[in-house]
Structure 1
Amino acid sequence: MGLLLYLLPELGACSPWTLLGTASGTAGWKRSPEGTWDAGDGDPFPALRLVVITVLWALILSVLFSKASTERGALLDLQDGLSANASKQTAVLGILEEEVRACNSCCLRTQAQLQTVSKELTEARSKLLQQESALKELSERVTQNLAEAGRDRENIRTELFRALEQARLGNSSCKECPESWLPFQGSCYFFSTLRATWVEAQQHCERSGAHLVIVGGLEEQGFLSRNTRGRGYWLGLRAVRKVRRIQGYQWVDGVALSFSHWNRGEPNDSMGREDCIMMLRTGMWNDAPCDNENDNWICEKRLSC
């Protein structure tokens, strides 16, 4: 190989055909006068030169072949590596595709479940609205029935008082309401011009054989509203408390509240001490402290017969 590297610069100066031509020796042969050929001044070793050139070419071709073989092996190795890597990538891609299919399947199941839940919620909401409407209608009927029951109770109570008075007096003639008292549906009403606390107002009514007014229905409420004269009046209604919490409202005769005519936002039990009920100048009801001395009062008693 060292010899080859030494001779390569020399060989690069001439082509193979030039070398072959020189090796044939024809350039140094001359014809003698006798008609024969002799070497003359040419190369005395043409065969040796040809052998050397042949060997050199064989070495060159061998080196080129070896280099080509090495590169081919490297290319084959690279091809094998790329093939193996491609196989791995194909396997990974297959796994990823399988996972994607699984995810898609899971998403489809989840979507189906969500649609089912949404449908159930829609149906439940529809049923709830129907129940709410039915409950509202029932509440309105109950309120109406309670109002009617309140009016019936007032009528019964009026007739009962009349019967008791008739039995006590032993006659059938009914007396008129006292002076300054207004009659309405068998009862007499007194609208005070003085002011007092709720307890004091009830005591005033009891001294007159009456009690603070009990409002039994819308008609009676209308009668009272028409006669307020721009003042506020105590009603015969108080809160029922248990452990400082209002459990309901009760009239002075012990009957629980059924008909009501509350002002907007009432009763609110401000500061936890508004136990007594009064009627505003507008006719609407409001809860207030029982020791409030700024209100008038309305007394009610049945007609005496």
Structure 2
Amino acid sequence: MDNSGYRKWDGSPEGVPGGQWGRCGQKSLVVTVVLVAAGVLWSLVLSVLLSKASSELGVLLGHQDLLRTNASKQAEVLNSLQEGVGTCKTCCSEVKVQLQTTRTELGEAQKKLMELGSSLNELRERVTKDTAQAGRDREDIRSELLRALEAAKFGNNSCEPCPTSWLPFAGSCYFFSKQQDKWEKAQMNCGNTGAHLVLVGDLEEQAFLSQNTRGRGYWLGLRTVRRAGKVQGYQWVDGVPLTFSHWNTGEPNDSRGREDCVMMLHSGLWNDAPCENERDSWICEKRRRC
């Protein structure tokens, strides 16, 4: 076969069919394909982005609606709170006025109570003074009657003599015990003899007792009167308040708040002491029978 009419293509540009124009066509085709592919790719990317953006936009719109709903509710709550605050302010103003009125009334009541307390204190002092005076008057009358009775009885020698170991003085008999015991036991022992612990009415009787103390301490028929744990005064066993007294220096002092009974020291001066003290003797007194 005659191949002389054909040239062998050896891959060189000169060997491409169509020559120079053939090569340009191939390049244009490649560029076109690349551009088309890029366009398709970008279309896909844009489609994906648009789809994602659309989804996110839907979510954002949903959130926006939710926020609007919440904002509306919060506005309602805020309005309700504002109304409540307004009501509270009104109530507080009314309460403030009521408190002011109550404070004024309490001040007036306190003033009246203070005036009443002052009046009660004056009345108490007056009653105390009157009671003390009545006690003194009673003692004076009793002493005068006893002296008169004693004088009348001694005129006809009809008065009984004092028992053995008892000492006579001003119409009474006195027993100075040697035994020592508590105040209650001392009063009981005197009662068993028809007597009572001694009642000291005046300085003359006190002088008689002081002369016969024999260096001992003796219980007297005198005790404290307490209110709310505080000493208000002293009272004899016959119920008469204390008028005459012969206290030692610094007495009575109610040491430790428990000295409710009164005893006479060996000097004749008085001292308050605990009633449970067992180191003191006692003096009994009873009227002579005429």
Task: State the TM-score, normalized to the length of structure 2.
Answer: 0.50
Task: State the TM-score, normalized to the length of structure 1.
Answer: 0.47
